Amino acid sequence: MKLHNTLTRKIEEFKPLQDKIVTLYSCGPTVYDYMHIGNLRKFVFDDTLRRALEANGYKTKHAMNITDVGHLVSDSDEGEDKLEKGAKREGKTVWDVAKHYTDSFKKDVAALNILKPNVSGGPDNYAKATDFIPEQIEMIKILLEKGFAYETPKAIYFDVSKLKNYGELTGQKLSDKEVAVRSDVVTDKNKRNPQDFALWFFTVDRFAHHDMHWSSPWGEGFPGWHLECSAIIHTLLGDPIDIHTGGVDNIGTHHVNEMAQTEAAFGHKLANYWVHCEHLLVNDQKMSKSLGNFYTLVDVIKKDYDPLALRLLFLQSHYRSQMNFSWESLDGAAEFLKKLRAWADLKFQSNLGHKKGAGDSYKEALEHIQSAVNEDLNTAQALAILAGQASLAEQEGANPDKLQPLLERLDELFGLNLSSRDDITDPAKRIIGQREQMRRDKNWSEADRLRDELAEQGIAVEDTEHGPVWSRTDA
């Protein structure tokens, strides 16, 4: 299997540290607001990667965090904590805010058929940052002891000048980076280097009234954003891990700092492969909360789209390409999904008879699909092959005995739930039979009436040379 590694900016053959086991970590959500579908594209990507690994026979150990503390926002000159900001906005406690948006996130990923992490770090296997405070404090201790960190009245910082290859992931020299590009960045005069980042904030000054705080050997406070991932990985998976994923916007700062912390504290690298997902755009601009040009999964559902249509849309592009979202493109994916489902439902219609040889191409198609996925997750190409099979079935029919096993394999890869669909009811089948009789009797008006009746139940009937073929229009 091949993957693009941000560390080398090349597509590399994937080799895990241990035979047949892959340790995988995905940066999770910051639960201060609803996820938008751009966020969700990244989680579909994580899921696709994991499914691909498992389809290749690897056992995965997959962990994901939930950031419920410490992630600073700064849309005023005061860098607030995102959670605190959300709480103020909604008149709730930070803990309530975290819970509300965590629940919402879980609902979203469930609707998109995204697998939960399989290494337990807490409820539903997600690892909340606030559940790993001691582990984070432990890392700070080590970093202070080893001289990679220092204390100021406001915070404990990581000294980036102490780590030789700091920023390796960006391919950019420290001296070339503009400091505080965004005008709203708050800087601490006591920092040794502008790029030094906080490991621990003291609840003083602007954070004096911070609701979430813990005691530490150095004083009351709360952890910096980057630390949680390093600590959670160290605790749940053990570093180095095989693969670390995230969005491209994490490359420059978050992941650079995660790497730095782990390397400095434990003396070895954090991950062998770094895989990053590109952004979803709207009108050629990044979908983001700050621009306000985003849609949530609830928006999608309200417009009567199946969440899996969105999943299919994401799979039709490559994860390293920016994708320009539009409702028109989602329409396209929804139609495509309908077509795939109609194909899957042929497994219930064994009475049809299919041409000899129908289904013989499945094995080869599956191999092609698998190898496309193995080329750095080229799901777009894989789906093109799949579409070819669906089209073929429209001509030669499908072999139900061979179709179901294929659908199961496809679901493992794509998570589109094609193999678990329900048959139509017996009464509906009887109506189809009756209508066929009416057609033979040339009683067209009655036949049409029965067709309308079926349509009301969400069933469309097509008359083929083999007999009537039904498909669902509602699901």
Partner RNA sequence: GGCGCGUUGGCCGAGGAAUUAGGCAAAGGUCUGCAAAACCUUUUACACGGGUGUGAAUCCCGUACGCGCCUCCA
Residues 111-170 binding RNA (CB under 7 A) are: 170
Our CB check for RNA shows the closer of 215 and 321 to be: 321
Find all residues with CB under 8 Å of 211, minimum gap 6, and list them.
84, 87, 93, 94, 95
The nearer residue to RNA, 147 or 171, going by C-beta atoms, is 171
Selected binder of RNA within 5, 22, 25, 30 (CB under 7 A): 30
Residue 387 contacts RNA per CB under 7 A: yes
What CA–CA distance (Å, rounded) separates 428 from 348? 13
Question: What phi and psi values does residue 91 have, to the nearest 5 degrees?
Answer: 65, 35
Q: Does the protein bind RNA through residue 332 (CB under 7 A)?
A: yes
Residues 6+ apart with CB under 8 A from 73: 32, 79, 80, 81, 82, 85
Q: Which is nearer to RNA, 394 or 453 (CB)?
A: 394
Shortest distance, position 148 Cβ to RNA, whole Å: 16
Q: Between residue 294 and residue 313, which ones bind RNA under the rule CB under 7 A? A: 313
Q: Looking at beta carbons only, is 19 or 178 nearer to RNA?
A: 178
Start-to-end CA distance of the chain, whole Å, equals 34
Q: Residue 102 pairs with which residues in a beta bridge?
A: none
Q: Which is nearer to RNA, 121 or 246 (CB)?
A: 246
Distance between CA atoms of residues 241 and 271, nearest Å: 5
- Residue 49 binds RNA (CB under 7 A): no
Which residue stretch of 30-38, 347-355, 362-370, 418-426 sits at the interface with RNA (rule: CB under 7 A)?
Answer: 30-38
- Residue 152 CB, shortest distance to RNA, in Å, is 12
* 59 versus 332: smaller Cβ distance to RNA: 332
**What are the two backbone dihedrals, phi and then psi, of residue 407, each rounded to the nearest 5 degrees?**
-60, -35
Q: Does 29 bind RNA (CB under 7 A)?
A: yes
> Which of 348, 443, 363, 439 minimizes the C-alpha distance to 397?
348
Nearer to RNA, 60 or 195 (CB): 195
Q: Which stretch of DSSP H or E encloses residue 334?
A: helix 327-344
Residue closer to RNA (CB basis): 57 or 79:
79
Residues 241-280 that bind RNA (CB under 7 A): 246-254, 277-280
Nearer to RNA, 18 or 161 (CB): 161
- Of 50-89, binders to RNA (CB under 7 A) are 71-75, 79, 82
Site stretch for RNA (CB under 7 A), options 52-60, 146-154, 192-200, 202-210: 192-200
Instruction: State the nearest-atom distance from the C-beta of 359 to RNA, in Å.
Output: 17
The residue (of 241 and 372) whose beta carbon lies closer to RNA is 372
In order of 93, 307, 312, 389, the CA distances from 340 in angstroms are 45, 15, 11, 10
448/338 Cα distance (integer angstroms): 23
Question: If binding is defined by CB under 7 A, does position 183 make contact with RNA?
Answer: no
Candidates 13, 57, 164, 176; binder of RNA (CB under 7 A) is 176
Q: Which of residues 423-462 bind RNA (CB under 7 A)?
A: 439, 444, 447-448, 451, 460-462
Token representation of residue 368? 């092609």
Complete DSSP assignment for 27-84: ---BTTS---HHHHHHHHHHHHHHHHHHHTTPEEEEEEEEB-S--EE-SSSS-EEHHH
The answer to whether 166 and 174 are in contact (CB under 8 A) is yes
Stretch that binds RNA, among 56-64, 283-291, 357-365, 422-430 (CB under 7 A): 283-291
Q: Which residues touch 317 (CB under 8 Å, ≥6 apart)?
A: 323, 380
Piece of 15-23, 234-242, 316-324, 346-354 that binds RNA (CB under 7 A): 316-324
The phi and psi torsions of 296 (rounded to 5 degrees) equal -105, 170
Least Å distance, CB 390 to RNA, is 7
Site for RNA in 193-222 (CB under 7 A): 194-198
The token pair that represents 352 in the structure block:
């049809």
